Each structure stands twice: as C-alpha cells, then as structure tokens.
Structure 1
Amino acid sequence: MPAPTTRLVCTLTAAATALTLAPPPPAAAHTAYPGHTTSRYITADGTPEDTTRARDAGCADAETGQDGLRILFLGTQEHPDRLRHPGTTARTSTPRIPADTATDIAAAYATGFRDCNTTDTTTRLALGVNNKDDGGIDPATAGAAWADIVDTAARRAATPAITVTGALDAEPSWSTPAWARAWIDAYTHTTDRRLYAANSAGGCPTPGQNSTTCNNGWTVADVHHLATGAAPTVHALPQIYRTDGIQARQWAAISAWGAHHRDQPLRAAGALSQHTACTQRGGCQRTDNTPRQAWTQLRDALNDREATRVTRLPYASDMRWP
C-alpha cells in the first residue's frame, strides 16, 4: 500500500492530467453580447433636410457611447445614377436623388457624430444599397459605382472616430443570383473597403436538410458567395428577424456548407434585427427579435458545430426608420 504522501502525489498528478486532457470550454462561453447600435433606413428627398437629419442621427448615435457598426441603407440603385427609397419598387413615385448625394449624407452624419462625441466612441459607418434589379442598371456598373461612392465618402469623413465602409442588403427574392453576384464582384474588384452583407437567406435549408436550393433560383452557394465567398473584405451581418430562430439556423447551414465545400465558414460579424422598425411601423408577425435575441440566436446556431464555431461576434445592430 502506498504511503499517504505517495497517494497525495498520485492524486495531484491525476488531477493535473485530467485538467490537461479536458476539452476547452465552448466558444460561446467567451463570446459575450456586445450591446447594440442603431442602423437606419434613409428616405432622402433631395432637400437640405437630408443632411440635417443625417447630422442629427450622427449626433444621437455618438451620444449613446456605444461603439460598433452602423448601417445607413439608402435604397435601390437606378439608372442613371439615382437612388430610390428603401422598401419601394420601380412603380412608386417616391423621390429619386442623385446617387452621389449619399456622400453628402455620410459627411453630415460624420459631422454630427464628431460634434457630439464626448466619450471617444468609435463606429464603422456602412453605406448600403439593396440588390433589387428593377432599377434598369447593369449590376457590374452598379457595384463599381457604389464602391466609388463609399471611397469618396471615406475621404470626406470628418473624424477619425468613423471608418466608412460599404453594405449590401442582398435578398434572393429581389434579383437573380447572377445579378447579385455581378454586383458584389464588381464592388470587391473596385475597392478594398470592407462590405457588410446584411442579407437574407430566404428559402435556404436548415441543418439536417439535404437541399441546397433557396428562393427564386438561388442556391446555398450563391448565398454564401454574397455573404463571405466573394472576397476577404466581405463580412456577414445576416438578418435574424424571426423569433423562432429559423433564420439563425439557415445561416448556420450556409456556414457549414462553406466550411465543407470551400474551406470557408461564414465570416460572421454579427446579427441584424428590426425590432425598432417593427415598433415604428407595425405589421411584424414573429419577425421582431430584439437585438440581443437576434445576436444570441446566431451565436448559438453557429456554435452548435465545431466547423462553424465563432470566438468573436462583435456587432449587433437594430434597424429603424429615420
């Protein structure tokens, strides 16, 4: 029988071995909710009020003291060089504005952010459009033009606290996959500024389903390309609106597809919600996740398998009308 001292040494050795061999805790344990920012649908009408509203929005966002990503969605690109309000179609009579007005709006936002920033708050300001193909504009022309606008807005930013980037709201129901692919390829070939893909995955499968088809002729490969695969500068901030979590599971399946077929899981930056927009306008049926709910659903779905696990998910942002 070993002496007590020997037993103690054996016990400590066994404990140390157990600690050494124990698996690391899941990534979710190290991924804390970052707090949320506000992103905005911009309904510009070509008057001085456009920049006044943008300056006020920048001031309000700086006063929150919340670092993070903020998207200004300016709507649909139309030929020639115009922008149409978010949430509208080509048949609507809402005002159209010159596309380069986006740079004036971004500059005014940056001025407001700088003037009201008393807490050294920083932000990535992403100027965004959608992939609606009813504007009569060639997708490669549109993607390159938007890259030029983002570059110009970045040069005009009035404060080092703001990093100007691009954003895209790409949804399968709004264009052919070829149109959306041409747009993002042109953008990423024109600028190396980051693009945040605030996309949907309508009709795409969830884990455990064998299908690789999504809505409107899109495939999982198309959705992955638009959210990560197009270039290293593309980062996904997917729409996680539904309270039942199905959208988070769809994006987990897309990430798993990318990991298996492209050695490239989703380059996830965070989650986008629309809780405030739903409160403002109503009509949301189980698509009003809070920012925390959206972010948590996405984190948990991605962390459900090793191939798609994330150790960083830095952003949560919530949409509102201006």
Structure 2
Amino acid sequence: MPTTRARLLAATTALLTLTTTTPATAQPPTQQPRYPGHTTSRYITAHNTPADTARAADAGCAAATTAQPGLRILFLGTQEHGSRLRHPGTTRTTTTPRIPTRAAVDIAAAYATGFTRCNTTDTTAHLALGVNNKDDGGIAPARAGRNWARIVEAAARRADTDHLTITGAIDAEPSWSTPAWARTWVDAYTATTDRRLYAANSAGGCPTPGHTSTACNNGWKLADIHYLATGAAPTLHAIPQIYRTDGIQARQWAAVSAWGAHHKNQPVRFAGALSQHTACTQRGGCTRTDNTPEAAWRQLRDALNARAATAVTRLPYATDMRWPAT
C-alpha cells in the first residue's frame, strides 16, 4: 500500500494534470444580468412648426411618468445637404417636409422640459438624438458626422439637467451606405465631441457563430460592424437592432463581438437591445420582426453569454421604437 507521502504526491500530480488539460476558456458567468424593463424610443416626423415641440414635451412627460430610468432615442431621420433633416423611413425622392437640422435642438429642449415637469420620482435618463447613415442626402460623411456632434453639443447646453443627459445615436445599416461612408461619419462625430454615441445598428447579412465567413451585406465585413459599434472610440456603446423573433440578429451580434474579442481583444461594448414591437403594432408589415423588448433583450443576453469570450455581466437597457401617434 502506498505511504501517506506517496498518496499525497499522486493526488497532487493528478490535480496538476487535470488543471493543465482543462481548456483555458472560462465558463460564461453564473450571474446573468436581469431584464431591466424597457423605455420608449421614438421616430420623429417633424414639420418645423410649434406642434413639433409640443409633441416632444408630451413625449418627455410620458417618459418621466413611467419612472423607468435609462436610454431613450429620438430618431430624426437622414441628414441632407443644406443642413436639413429628412423624415425617418424615406428616400431622397420623398416629398415629405424637410426641417432645419437645428430644429433637433429645440425638440430635445422641449422633451427635457416635459421630462423635468413630470419627473416626480427622480428618474434619470439618457436622451440620444439619432440619425442614420443613408448616403443619399448629398452631404459628405465627415461633414455630416461633425455637424451632428455639434447639434448634440448644442442640445446638451440647453437641455442637460440633473436627471436628463443628452447624447448622440446613429442607426448604421449596411444596406444604406458604403462602410467607408459610415466609418468616416463615426470618426468625425467622435473627434468632435466626447458625448456618448449609441450605435443602434444592424448587422445585416453577417454570419452567426460557427461560420468562418466575415462578410456581411453590401460589401461590409465584421470588422466594419465592430468598428462602428465599439472600435472607433471608447464613447461608442452598442444597442443593436434585435427585431427578429428567430433570434438570428442576436447571434449575428454575438459573432461580431467574438470577432472583436479575437482580433482586437475588444468584444462589443453593449448597452442593451433595441426592439420595434410598438412600431410594428402601429403600422403592421412586420413578418417575424416584432420582438417584444424583453424578448429582444433576452435573445441578445443569451447569445452573448453562450460563450465566455463575449459574455456580459451588465446589459442595462432595453428600448422599444414607436412612431408618432396619428
């Protein structure tokens, strides 16, 4: 029978062998983030009339009365030449009214006024003023990004309060521009302001984990998606579109984050998930793209936490898009 010393040595050797042969990859966290509840984000279809600010004030009041802290996004559409904004969901040939870009400052200030007036619970929020990366507006991307950063700064000077912080947002989608256009826009924005930029982007056509391809739609690559959501600057925070009920968009973003972890030692810096359930209810036409905000958030969390390299312990926001009431 082995001596006590021999048994101890054998046990130690076995433990070392087990330790060195166990894969180095850590396990996903056992402490999963809990669903935070959702806020309402809005498409803004302004007409450069007093009704624009009245509606914004009402929206701010409605946000405050929910007592739900967190991020809200106001998407104001596409930047055009001549310092104009075109409604969300439209193209260059659309005849809908254009508004001066600076009208976004008045809208943000009115929202902040309504939020402050109705905020009886000391609720705190980020209000992100957003545009998209459609390149059909006749404006160069560097100028567009720089101009939007200045709009966000101007809005912050008027509308920042102890409870409401003004930030920026971009809805960057591969089908709407070249990757170079979108990269240049983000570079210009982040070079002009330190205000946070929420990337409410899509990863259209990108692979899911387990695939070797790095190609996405319209000539974009995983590298471009990662750059526009995290890589360009530390002020970027991703709140991607997780619309599809089958979960593929969450898995695409897990692949983007895995690419960043492997190639840049930088998984995506996620703030939460964006859904469009209310917008779909209002206008219809959503075939399997009407995730509830909770379903979207859980899909993203679970896809990220399926692998240690992309796992998150915080995912603080869920926000759901809506159109203006008609």
| TM-score where L is the length of structure 2 | 0.91
Q: How far does residue 27 in structure 1 lie from its aligned partner after superposition?
A: 2.8
Partner of 2:127: 125
Give CA deviations for 1:252-279 in whole Å, capped at 9, x if unaligned.
0000000000010010000000000000
Give CA deviations for 1:165-222 in whole Å, capped at 9, x if unaligned.
0000000000000100000000000001100000000000000111100000101000
Q: How far does residue 243 in structure 1 lie from its aligned partner after superposition?
A: 0.2
Alpha-carbon RMSD across the aligned residues, in angstroms, is 1.5
For the residues of structure 2 that align with 1:295 and 1:260, how far apart are their CA atoms?
24
Partner of 2:47: 45
User: Is the partner of 1:204 in helix, strand or coil?
Assistant: coil
For the residues of structure 2 that align with 1:203 and 1:26, how far apart are their CA atoms?
26
Percent of residue pairs identical: 77
Are the equivalent residues in 2 in contact too, given 1:28–1:311 (CA < 8 A)? no
Unaligned runs of 5+ in 2: 1-18, 20-24
Q: How far does residue 237 in structure 1 lie from its aligned partner after superposition?
A: 0.1
Aligned residue pairs, count: 302
Are the equivalent residues in 2 in contact too, given 1:237–1:271 (CA < 8 A)? yes
Shift in alpha-carbon separation, 1:293–1:146, aligned structure 2, 3 A: same
Q: Which of 216, 238, 252 does residue 236 from structure 1 map onto? A: 238
Moved over 4 A (4+): 23-26
Partner of 2:319: 317
Partner of 1:88: 90
Q: Which of 244, 248, 251 does residue 249 from structure 1 map onto? A: 251
Unaligned runs of 5+ in 1: 1-20
In the alignment, is residue 135 of structure 1 matched against residue 137 of structure 2? yes
User: Is the partner of 2:128 in helix, strand or coil?
Assistant: strand
For the residues of structure 2 that align with 1:240 and 1:281, how far apart are their CA atoms?
18
Q: How far does residue 159 in structure 1 lie from its aligned partner after superposition?
A: 2.7
For the residues of structure 1 that align with 2:130 and 2:270, how far apart are their CA atoms?
18
For the residues of structure 2 that align with 1:217 and 1:126, how far apart are their CA atoms?
28
For the residues of structure 2 that align with 1:280 and 1:59, how far apart are their CA atoms?
21
Partner of 1:194: 196
Are the equivalent residues in 2 in contact too, given 1:28–1:303 (CA < 8 A)? no
Partner of 1:305: 307
Are the equivalent residues in 1 in contact too, given 2:277–2:320 (CA < 8 A)? yes
Are the equivalent residues in 2 in contact too, given 1:252–1:301 (CA < 8 A)? yes
For the residues of structure 1 that align with 2:260 and 2:92, how far apart are their CA atoms?
34
User: Is the partner of 2:112 in helix, strand or coil?
Assistant: helix
Are the equivalent residues in 2 in contact too, given 1:114–1:158 (CA < 8 A)? no
| TM-score where L is the length of structure 1 | 0.92
For the residues of structure 2 that align with 1:106 and 1:302, how far apart are their CA atoms?
33
In the alignment, is residue 78 of structure 1 matched against residue 74 of structure 2? no
In the alignment, is residue 170 of structure 1 matched against residue 172 of structure 2? yes
